[in-house]
Amino acid sequence: MKDLLVGDIGGTNARFALWRDNQLHAVEVFATADYSGPEQAIEYYLADQGVALGEVSAACLAVAGPVDGDEFQFTNNQWHLSQRAFCKHLQIDRLLLVNDFTAMALGMTRLKADEYIEVCAGDADAARPALVIGPGTGLGVGCLLRQGERRWLALPGEGGHVDLPVGNAREAAIHQQLHGQIGHVSAETVLSGGGLLRLYQAMCALDGDVPRHKTPAQITDAALAGEPRAAAVIEQFCRFLGRVAGNNVLTLGARGGVYIAGGVIPRFAELFLRSGFHTSFTDKGCMSDYFAGIPVWLVTAELSGLLGAGVALEQALHD
């Protein structure tokens, strides 16, 4: 039986694994800058695993951006892919390209008990959609629908680019400060790694402070060490995330629960759990009671996108 290959390709790194018995095997991480394209990185990976060209029958790659047609240009790195040329080069019969947040959403179906933390208690309604939202390099937003005992549908979108919601005078002032600098203020403008730095700079400007930190990591470290300014920025970040997540729950009717994924929040999980996220999440006026009983989980798993690519491939081959 031929092998199956899965990949999760971001701006900086690409993760590859063999998919066997519905599980990941031999996960390796490659720097995208070290290879001219995905074919070259995968060829090296397969050789490292002792898998010859022609021994992989199908592959699924999770990629950042809308997937349409044969050609795909990666958003945050120099790679380009033609599906036909890819299959010919690697002697693969079938290539499935999926949006990276489609894979992330499908990865939620494979979480283990120690790979998520309960943020808000509740009982998920399995017949209703679940929301998957993830601040990382950008802000990913997706919807997960159960279609049977072992069948799932992930609906990707561009929800990270909706307008940043404002709930009070302070947030209105922050929005105005950002708008004056960059124009349109999307949710991703703030709710991402780079957005955390942008939020910090905007809050310093509003309060007449000189920014001391130059990277998101420095802000996070300072907040964890108890610096008031950095802690206030993290608190506001969490509150904005609550507003955006709550808006999406209402839009989708996501009583199936909310998964907070991505690489940003786990870096300050303790602060997040103590933050005003829940207050902002449920602050919806006459619809505030709608949120009673909707569970929220913080996902700490590192390979959800790669697992989701495996789930997508498994379902596609079953079809």
List the binding residues: 7-12
Half-sphere exposure of 287 (CA within 13 A, CB side): 10
Q: Which two tokens mark 14?
A: 């690409």
The DSSP string of 307-318 is HHHHHHHHHHHH
- The residues facing 3 across adjacent strands are 56
Contact residues for 62 (Cβ-Cβ < 8 A; gap 6+): 6, 7, 8, 9, 98, 99, 100, 102, 103, 104, 305, 306, 308, 309, 312
Q: Which two tokens mark 106?
A: 């499908």
Q: Which residues are annotated as a binding site for ATP?
A: 7-12
Distance CA(260)–CA(213), nearest Å, equals 26
Contact residues for 277 (Cβ-Cβ < 8 A; gap 6+): 119, 238, 239, 241, 242
